């Protein structure tokens, strides 16, 4: 079926192919990618855009000795296929299968584990410095997308790399720029020329000769920048100390391979600007790369057909609330670090464009930007994934909480996230939020409660957070009317005997199921901070066993808050804490992952009976 692809199981075998066969190999690889992802789901557009670049990198560089660091890593499926994991693609992002991102423990070709943005240049620079100190000729290559270049960390690394004596190659995969054929041909020609040894040697020789006359050297540099600036946007990167090359066509294998071979012979920090197209080679993905960015299973011939289970997702509940709240209060602004679609802000961005702020992949900036807006009377709502908020923890404490500013954090993807695995799991937010003074932290039990909690948070004049899981809830109808909840008060969902299940957020539903067999009391705690101390005390005095249940790490989480409350009230009670264990939980089906952690109906029942000796 794939005459070339079926014979290639490693980069060393790829390097044995004649150059004229590489376009056919790329076509087969792209077709395999489409068919494979259609069966498993995963990231599609970004991977289709880097097929030729991946082939060229492995063809030119001696991987895994030479190290490739893929930023984010959601464009590495072709890399995985080329490095002995073609068969593993059938279990991509499944339990026991290969990950959707690079992982060092998965393959020697995955030089650095990635999944969050803008880390590649820093990591590759560290590897390049290690190669220099170890006196090896090993090359380090960072492949970073144009979106990831918006993060401060990428520029911190560029700033540092420019003054390092290290052989680092940074490849900017730019998929937001189109190159018309004539300009593209000229750029490709000049890029080849600029990457050649003659050009680089001549420039260095000229600098030595002209160095005795500073004014002439300065004039020569300005002339070079002027000439190159006419056809390239590289002046910025050259100011960082890089030799800028490009832009070149990232789908032209001949240009890619020639340029990379020339760069391989150069010393010092090099910057290659490659222009690609997301979804390249699959018309539907080219036309709508956002829709085909992350996909479920689909028919490659028919494309994605929207399906709905009739229940709104928590993300949709948030998006609708945001628009409704904005209609009521002109002070509301929505802030997101490049997650408009994922965090549910599409409608808001269309209806309130002047109050919508996508700050790029810059979580730290997003939080402090919101803090600044709050200082002058606006009411910022920061829509952010739990795992991404971790990147702005200092700003959360220093810029928001210490100043007690009214910023609402709408925290999506709380708890386990299934196929995306440990890099994207929101396993720690209850722990890292509740220890911050001035914070109010809420966890909704269902969709309607999520809407009411968001309203409650917005009405506060202090920092607040509402954390909710990925996907749909239990199917409760969402009331249009908004009403603030009493701060720090839980609610009884079921009256029972002996056992009290203190459930937080998503764990209310399985606790209610388990309670039917245990005849247990079920409390929807609602607030992690402030905790309902009075209710906790009353339950301790009327039940033999308190069981806290949360989709968050047990360490320092909501259960710990309950035990702290009991200690502060000098109440001696029997408490069992259920939650996520002290490990990074691998990818898989979300329901099965919860079951494996004992956070489903059967797990809760088993744990309770074990403690009671039943």
What is the C-alpha separation between 190 and 551, in angstroms, rounded? Answer: 55
Determine the distance from the C-alpha atom of residue 102 to the mean position of all C-alpha atoms in its chain, rounded to a whole number: 13
In the numeric block, which tokens belong to residue 46? 């970004």
What is the C-alpha separation between 175 and 597, in angstroms, rounded? Answer: 40
279-290 CB burial, b ≥16 within 10 A, e <16: bbbbebbbeebe
What is the C-alpha separation between 172 and 148, in angstroms, rounded? Answer: 9
Contacts of 215 by beta carbon, 8 Å cutoff, 6+ apart: none
In 3-state terms, what secondary structure has residue 501?
strand
Of 101, 24, 420, residue with least CA distance to 32: 24
Instruction: Check 93, 278, 340, 379 and give the catalytic one.
Output: 278
Q: Annotated catalytic, 278?
A: yes
In this structure, the strands spanning 408-412 and 464-467 are parallel
What count of Cα atoms within 13 Å lies in the side-chain half-sphere of residue 294? Answer: 10
Instruction: Quickly list DSSP for 551-603.
Output: EEESTTSHHHHHHHHHHHTT----EEEEEE-SSPPPPS-HHHHHHHTT-SHHH
Q: Annotated catalytic, 192?
A: no
Judge contact between 529 and 561, C-beta under 8 A. yes
Bridge partners, residue 383, by sequence:
410
Q: Annotated catalytic, 18?
A: no
Instruction: Quickly list DSSP for 308-330.
Output: --SS-BHHHHHHHHHHHHHHH-T
Instruction: Check 391, 451, 467, 526 and give the catalytic one.
Output: 391
Instruction: Check 28, 52, 238, 363 and give the catalytic one.
Output: 363
Known catalytic residues are 278, 363, 391
């Amino acid at each position: 079926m794939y005459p070339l692809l079926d014979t290639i199981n490693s980069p060393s075998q790829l390097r044995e192919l004649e150059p004229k066969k590489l376009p056919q190999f790329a076509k087969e690889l792209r077709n395999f990618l489409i068919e494979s992802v259609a069966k498993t789901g995963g990231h599609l557009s970004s991977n289709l855009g880097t097929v030729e670049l991946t082939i060229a990198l492995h063809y030119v560089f001696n991987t895994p000795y030479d190290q490739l660091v893929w930023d984010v890593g959601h464009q590495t499926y072709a890399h995985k296929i080329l490095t002995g994991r073609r068969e593993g693609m059938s279990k991509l992002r499944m339990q026991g299968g290969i990950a959707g991102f690079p992982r060092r423990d998965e393959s020697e070709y995955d030089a650095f584990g990635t999944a969050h943005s803008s880390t590649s240049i820093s990591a590759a620079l560290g590897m390049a410095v290690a190669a220099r100190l170890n006196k090896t000729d090993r090359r380090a290559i960072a492949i970073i997308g144009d979106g990831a270049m918006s993060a401060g960390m990428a520029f911190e690394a560029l700033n540092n790399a420019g003054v390092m004596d290290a052989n680092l190659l940074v490849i900017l995969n730019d998929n937001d720029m189109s190159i018309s054929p004539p300009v593209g041909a000229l750029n490709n020609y000049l890029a080849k020329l600029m990457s050649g040894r003659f050009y680089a040697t001549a420039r260095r020789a000229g600098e030595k000769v002209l160095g005795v006359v500073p004014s002439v050297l300065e004039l020569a540099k300005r002339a070079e920048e002027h000439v190159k600036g006419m056809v390239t946007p590289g002046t910025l990167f050259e100011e960082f100390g890089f030799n800028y090359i490009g832009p070149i066509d990232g789908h032209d294998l001949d240009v890619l391979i020639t340029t990379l071979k020339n760069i391989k012979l150069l010393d010092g920090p090099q910057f290659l600007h490659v222009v690609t197209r997301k979804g390249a080679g699959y018309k539907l993905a080219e036309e709508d790369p956002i829709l085909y960015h992350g996909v479920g299973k689909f028919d490659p011939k028919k494309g994605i057909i929207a399906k709905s289970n009739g229940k709104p997702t928590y993300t949709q509940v948030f998006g609708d609330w945001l628009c409704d709240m904005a209609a009521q209060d002109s002070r509301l602004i929505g802030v997101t670090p490049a997650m408009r679609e994922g965090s549910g802000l599409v409608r808001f961005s269309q209806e309130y464009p002047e109050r919508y702020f996508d700050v790029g992949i810059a979580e730290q900036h997003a939080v402090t930007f919101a803090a600044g807006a709050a200082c002058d009377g606006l009411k910022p709502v920061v829509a952010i994934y739990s795992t991404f908020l971790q990147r702005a923890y200092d700003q959360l404490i220093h810029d928001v909480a210490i100043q007690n500013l009214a910023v609402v954090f709408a925290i999506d993807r709380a708890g386990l996230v299934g196929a995306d695995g440990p890099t994207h799991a929101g396993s720690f937010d209850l722990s890292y939020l509740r220890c911050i003074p001035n914070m109010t932290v809420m966890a909704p039990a269902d969709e309607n409660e999520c809407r009411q909690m968001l309203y409650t948070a917005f009405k506060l004049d202090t920092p607040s957070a509402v954390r909710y899981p990925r996907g749909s809830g239990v199917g409760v109808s969402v009331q249009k009317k908004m009403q603030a909840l009493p701060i720090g008060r839980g609610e009884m969902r079921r009256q029972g005997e002996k056992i009290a299940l203190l459930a937080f957020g998503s764990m209310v539903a399985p606790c209610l199921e388990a309670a039917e067999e245990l005849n247990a009391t079920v409390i929807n705690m609602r607030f992690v901070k402030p905790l309902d101390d009075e209710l906790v005390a009353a339950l301790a005095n009327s039940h033999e066993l308190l069981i806290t249940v949360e989709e968050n790490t047990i360490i320092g989480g909501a259960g710990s808050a309950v035990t702290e409350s009991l200690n502060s009230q000098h109440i001696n009670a029997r408490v069992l804490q259920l939650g996520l264990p002290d490990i990074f939980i691998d990818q898989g089906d979300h329901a099965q992952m919860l079951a494996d952690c004992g956070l489903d109906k059967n797990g809760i029942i088993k744990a309770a009976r074990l403690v009671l000796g039943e």
